[in-house]
């Protein structure tokens, strides 16, 4: 189990970097242009990806009163990309050092006023899958903007790039 989580953590970093390296070459207007999707712009979609990684990290760390830096962030896309990259790297480093008991540990957290219990490895799968879902939306948004040379971010490409 640990090996696949390590691969997914590394894949998450790799795939997000490929896309954000391409997005960073767009204009601020394009990055912030309203496009119909789950979130109204490329900027807001990436901000949501950061928010999700941030909230789950704090839950895993058993933070009681979670305050999310991502929800109030108004900085540049480049700054946000760097912060998300560091957040994703924290997951990878934690998994690299985790023991099997830490990965299967069931922890409780509150989500939307409901108490939930899940093993850590399921939460990690969720975090990485969630990012994959929104990277797909970013690709669709870039296509709608007419962006060329959008990199492929499938897991298969990651495995073959190593």
Q: Which domains does the chain have, with CATH numbers?
A: 2-161 (1.20.120.450)
- Whether pLDDT at 162 is above 80: no
Angle at 153 between CA 152 and CA 159, to 5 degrees: 110
What was the pLDDT predicted at 70?
Answer: 95
Please report, for residues 30, 109, 110, 116, 148, the alpha-carbon distance to residue 113 in angstroms, rounded to integers and kept in the order given.
Answer: 37, 9, 6, 9, 43
Task: Give the pLDDT mean for 50-72.
Answer: 94
Distance CA 112, CA 80 (A): 26
């Amino acid at each position: 189990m640990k090996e696949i989580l390590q691969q997914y953590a590394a894949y998450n970093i790799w795939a997000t970097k490929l896309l954000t390296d391409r997005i960073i070459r767009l204009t601020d207007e394009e990055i912030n242009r309203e496009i119909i999707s789950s979130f109204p712009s490329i900027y807001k979609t990436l901000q949501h990806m950061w928010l999700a990684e941030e909230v789950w990290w704090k839950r895993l760390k058993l933070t009681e009163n979670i305050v999310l830096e991502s929800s109030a962030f108004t900085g540049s896309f480049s700054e946000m990309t760097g912060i998300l990259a560091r957040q994703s790297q924290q997951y990878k480093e934690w998994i690299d050092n985790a023991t099997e008991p830490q990965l299967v540990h069931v922890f409780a957290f509150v989500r939307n006023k409901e108490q939930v219990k899940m093993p850590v490895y399921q939460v990690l799968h969720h975090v990485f899958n969630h990012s994959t879902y929104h990277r797909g939306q970013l690709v669709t948004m870039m296509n709608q903007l007419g962006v060329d040379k959008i990199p492929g971010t499938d897991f298969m490409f990651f495995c073959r790039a190593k």
